[in-house]
Amino acid sequence: MEYLDENHLVCLKWGFDDVQGTITFKFVVNTTGWVGFGFSPNGGMQGADIVMGGLGSSGSYFKDYYATGNAMPVEDTEQSYTLLSLNESDGQTSMSFQRAIVSCDQQDFQITAQPIKLIYAYGTTDVISYHGARRGTKEVNLLNYMARTTLPNTNFLSVTVENITVPTTHTYYHCKVMNFPWLTTKQHIIVVEPVIENVDIVHHMLLYRCPSFVTQPYNSQCYQGNMGDACFGVVATWGVGGGVMDLPENVGIPVGGDDSDTFYRLEIHYNNPNNVSGRTDSSGLRLYYTAQLRQYDVGILMTGVVPGMNINYKIPPKANQFRSYGVCNTSLFSEFLNPMPDLKVFSVLMHTHLAGRKVRVGHYTSNGTQIDFLGLDENYHFDLQQMTNMGVIKTIKQGDEILVECTYSTASRTGVTKMGLGTTDEMCLVFLYYYPAINVTTCQSHPNTRHPSMNTSDQIFGGTTTPDQDEIAAHERLLKTVPQFQVIADDGLTFKSYPGGMIREMMKTPTVTCNTPNASSRLVTSWIVNPAGVILLLLWIAMM
């Protein structure tokens, strides 16, 4: 079960026994009008698979729709959803329905083991019309769902800013450096809850652990040459559109004890594109912790492309598609620790800015063979950047390589886009949550933009002529083939750079295979009504 909105007015329950069978939904909304639920490629209407229904004066109504744009969806040629029940009670509408998990209908959204962007809308009457503000989006992994943690106590750290003034600039980063000296014994953070005062301007938040030489609190604009700017060991993350982060039952983020003198830096990125003045904010994170230590400490590894650093990385304008790459070779970790334990990755957070369209994280053996993907988002959305549970544990062994691929579209831009902190700049970052924690915090790369072969591209993109698509594609290939500088850092802020990294080929994203007629027509009882189905689900996850 998940609430799809912040006010707990829209509730979704779902369940299934077999990933080749049927999935059952119960959709409950605090309204007596029409209700709509759907699956969206990117969180919007375009291309969404939607069901709408309600209970009117003439009885119940329910249909399967397909959205071709930001307008009233059209009825599917094939009605793939079956209504099970529809009723109104105590000001709520409850709609239960089911469909095949793997559908052969081209107008249906394919449900996979990856996180899916769910959308909803509803009205106050039974006349289906424009929903206005009664709509929303939430990303959920339906097939590999991770249940919420039951908190053993109410202890939490409030890590927030207090009434800061947000300036009238498009992009502003505010930092607060603090410590928790009263935690004299080691604790485990098990839940991270965002506290967002202004949902329209708080874009993302990062909590970093500081190296030992940071010993003073600080509360002002980030990256102004203060000592706190050196804090880069990621402890917790939150991105716009995300919700509460629950950790698996066997892991926790360590805090306190021998580290009670450690300082932490809360970084908040404010996105104020309309340059609104007079806004104050007191957002941040609430960190629930327990003295009942779990089996493993959580580590967070920041991968992708090194942001900024004057690397002269140019994403060309008018590009329908442009890919950037960051590589991490874990064989280089031997200079920080040896041997490296197997790293068990359980969750991932992907991050780009406005031009980002896709993010993929490839996992390779030491000989360059791709094992799988550690993360996939083929329909990346700037306003939906939450940590997603992978559902299964992926193991990174010493010597394995990680490759992050970010795809951008700059078709509407007339100037080059650089890698940087600004919202209109770009980033290509992926945060991997894993256990057991090691002291390496960062493993990123950037192409050698001073390589002699870059001279031609510099001439093309430094001039006034808009490059054509062939020149853009050639520039992308060049950036992919020039040597990569890999940058690795530990929690003490020891940085080491390694030249000569290479970008490997990445396999195509797996596609869904359509069910056979017999499989698609088979109905399987959902564990919404059959609790024994939970056992089958857990067995299936364990076998993956």
**Residues with active-site annotation:** 173, 351
What span, in angstroms and rounded, lies between the C-alpha atoms of 302 and 308?
15
- Tell the residue number behind the tokens 């509460």, with chain if given: 244
How do 299-305 and 440-447 pair as beta strands? parallel
Instruction: Give the angle 504-507-508 at the CA atoms, nearest 5°.
Output: 140
Task: Give Dmax (Cα) for the chain.
Answer: 74
How do 417-418 and 314-315 pair as beta strands? antiparallel
Q: Is 201 helix (H, G, I), strand (E, B) or coil?
A: coil
Contact (Cβ atoms closer than 8 angstroms) between residue 347 and residue 389: yes
Contact (Cβ atoms closer than 8 angstroms) between residue 170 and residue 273: yes
**Phi and psi, residue 424, nearest 5°:** -85, -5
Which of these, 106, 20, 110, lies nearest to 66 by C-alpha position?
A: 106
What span, in angstroms and rounded, lies between the C-alpha atoms of 509 and 498?
30
- Tell the residue number behind the tokens 């940590």, with chain if given: 387
Q: Is 336 helix (H, G, I), strand (E, B) or coil?
A: coil
Q: Is 539 helix (H, G, I), strand (E, B) or coil?
A: helix
List alpha helices for 431-468, DSSP H: 455-461
What span, in angstroms and rounded, lies between the C-alpha atoms of 450 and 482?
10
Q: Give, rounded to a whole angstrom, the gap between the first and last alpha carbons of the chain.
A: 23
Instruction: Give the angle 51-381-430 at the CA atoms, nearest 5°.
Output: 130
Contact (Cβ atoms closer than 8 angstroms) between residue 284 and residue 268: yes
What span, in angstroms and rounded, lies between the C-alpha atoms of 372 and 322?
23
What span, in angstroms and rounded, lies between the C-alpha atoms of 24 and 107?
19
| Residue 189: other Cβ atoms inside 10 A | 23
What span, in angstroms and rounded, lies between the C-alpha atoms of 471 and 453?
14
As given in the structure block, the two tokens for residue 259 are 């580290």
What span, in angstroms and rounded, lies between the C-alpha atoms of 536 and 544?
13
**Sign of the four-CA dihedral 276, 281, 287, 288:** negative
